[in-house]
Structure 1
């Protein structure tokens, strides 16, 4: 029978409008997953629109950046939409499926050689971008790790969440990564509710919140942490920080699939494990879990190994009061919106920043 009250879905003018729209799934009475096909479409679209509107870039110009995966595809789609060219200096972790999509979209891909050292991989990518800029001054370096223009697009997501969860006190839980998604979203939400909380998730081995002296046998989880400093991470925004090792993130990702039938990436699984812990201790708040991408690029490393996964029900963090107490496999701290400045080599910093957009 035809339902005359049914609401017709929108007809989008470009795939980016469809891809950026998340699915909101209530995993528990006070936990909501915001699941994306690729979260960073918000960052790429918001940044590219702003750069075009302000005349910083012009149609037909080439945008260049470094990426370990989902930002590359998001930027490629934004360039496709707005008539721009795209050059990606890709991490060694970018797989054949991702590379094929990029090249079909007309992206020039420079991929770094195989390496188990994330710092070396990131340093190589930065060096390659600088080499390209020296040879081709017409290129615009997007600087997703450093340019605050990437925070802008998440204001739209904040409006969506406020409309979907009206009046609910929110705690955002997500991987820190470049800082743009959790930072941009939380800043926009706090314009309406300053009590909005932010819980960040980090791997061991990341410099971002001081765990660089640890080595995770399965390497830093791409998209959650970093081996170099990111200016887009504003430490004062974060209320709490959790560090998880790869085995805990894997257990959480498999657990999310088993319990809720959600096929998602490692950062989503890790954020859900943290959100479940926080939600049990703060039942009056709605915990919004950022699900950055699907699980497809983690098939071999995670999902085919599902029988090895730990039981997430048995996992719990050690609560610490200072970074001196930090240790694997899972630790948590009340960060309390305080500043922090990682120490990094000068050559890894960007040549310039858009100071007009720095909050």
Structure 2
């Protein structure tokens, strides 16, 4: 039996949508990373019960950290993106979290820059606060080990492709790392894999236009930003060398994916999930022998007005295909795909 609602919320559902397409569906994904990170900090003595934990968030992590703080008797202070909606503001208030929300802004770079600047101002005034650094600290990888173990048990790691938003790196990157690290572990999909043989796990990252994480900062999306899966500032815990392929997907295209996922499979999920679903469908078509698992990071409730109310605008997904590009200079809306081939981040600075 769970001891706190955060533990239940952090447990994802594995849903087989067809014979080679699997959805890893979270109610709120970052509860997994926030809970494990706070537990590690408490266990190592880095923080104590009653301390204040501070971070910046576009929405999902704010709720996750507030729940982790509630679970462990700590205070939570969030500098929130302009994308934090009224429902989340109310939940945070009732949970006892402090929220400072940025003024409305359609510029991802400016929104993130202002949040980081405010974090430093708060730390200067309250050096006793602990900055969780969800965008930089590998401690946020820890919670995904148990998720990777479950995926391995239920899908196997023989010819498995994982698809999802890159974000801070502590979700898709962590899943791939833990799945690949399990060499020689028997699984339903690979009963005959020799001991010591590496797991055959490919990782496909999804990014919004304008994100610099994989070199697309020169592009932009005329619609609203897809919060949480890209960045206009460097993220220290993104391991570029884990990724095999990248997809850049526009708001309109992700909207079509989200609507189709609900209409076809009854999965009500967020905008980044719509993008991951489209990328997963495409990767499944390209590799008939592989099982493709995509990450659904949150439910669709905060996108009811901005996405689902516009369901009549959704394009048929069978007509949507990416443009394959050789480098970032060729990126173009609405959807681009590029082989990354586990290239280290240093290549972006070359």
- The answer, yes or no, to whether TM exceeds 0.5 is yes
Deviations, residues 58-91 of structure 1 (Å, cap 9, x unaligned):
1110000000101000011011111111101111
Gaps of at least 5 residues in structure 2 are: 183-197
Distance in 1 of aligned mates of 2:24 and 2:157: 17
* 2:317 is equivalent to residue 312 of structure 1: yes
Please point out which of 58, 65, 86 is paired with 2:55: 65
Instruction: Give TM-score scaled by structure 2 length.
Output: 0.93
Please point out which of 237, 244, 247 is paired with 1:239: 244
Please point out which of 67, 88, 91 is paired with 1:101: 91
Residue 81 of structure 1 is matched in structure 2 by: 71
Q: How does 1:58-207 map to 2 (within 5 A)?
A: 58-166=48-156, 168-192=158-182, 193-207=198-212
Gaps of at least 5 residues in structure 1 are: 1-10, 345-359
Deviation at 1:322, TM superposition (A): 1.7
Deviations, residues 130-150 of structure 1 (Å, cap 9, x unaligned):
111001111000010011111
Residue 249 of structure 1 is matched in structure 2 by: 254
Matched-pair contact (CA < 8 Å) for 2:28–2:60:
yes
Change (3 A) 1:342 1:246: farther
Deviation at 1:120, TM superposition (A): 1.3
Please point out which of 195, 212, 215 is paired with 1:210: 215
Residue 18 of structure 2 is matched in structure 1 by: 28
Matched-pair contact (CA < 8 Å) for 2:158–2:201:
no
Distance in 2 of aligned mates of 1:51 and 1:121: 28
Matched-pair contact (CA < 8 Å) for 1:154–1:184:
yes
Deviations, residues 274-314 of structure 1 (Å, cap 9, x unaligned):
00110112122111110000000111110000011111110
Deviations, residues 96-129 of structure 1 (Å, cap 9, x unaligned):
1001101111101111111121211111111111
Distance in 1 of aligned mates of 2:150 and 2:237: 23
| RMSD of Structure 2 on Structure 1 (CA) | 1.4
Please point out which of 192, 196, 219 is paired with 2:224: 219
Q: What SS does structure 1 have at the residue aligned with 2:171?
A: helix
Q: Once superposed, which parts of structure 1, at least 4 consecutive aligned residues long, lie more than 3 Å away?
A: 341-344
Q: What SS does structure 2 have at the residue aligned with 1:199?
A: strand
Change (3 A) 1:342 1:309: farther
Deviations, residues 20-70 of structure 1 (Å, cap 9, x unaligned):
111111112111001110010111011111111111111110000000101
Distance in 2 of aligned mates of 1:314 and 1:339: 33
Please point out which of 231, 256, 280 is paired with 2:285: 280
Matched-pair contact (CA < 8 Å) for 1:41–1:78:
yes
Residue 342 of structure 2 is matched in structure 1 by: 337
Please point out which of 278, 294, 302 is paired with 1:297: 302
Deviation at 1:324, TM superposition (A): 2.2
Matched-pair contact (CA < 8 Å) for 1:209–1:342:
no
Distance in 1 of aligned mates of 2:259 and 2:131: 37
Deviations, residues 321-346 of structure 1 (Å, cap 9, x unaligned):
222222211111110000125989xx
Distance in 2 of aligned mates of 1:214 and 1:135: 37
Distance in 2 of aligned mates of 1:36 and 1:46: 16
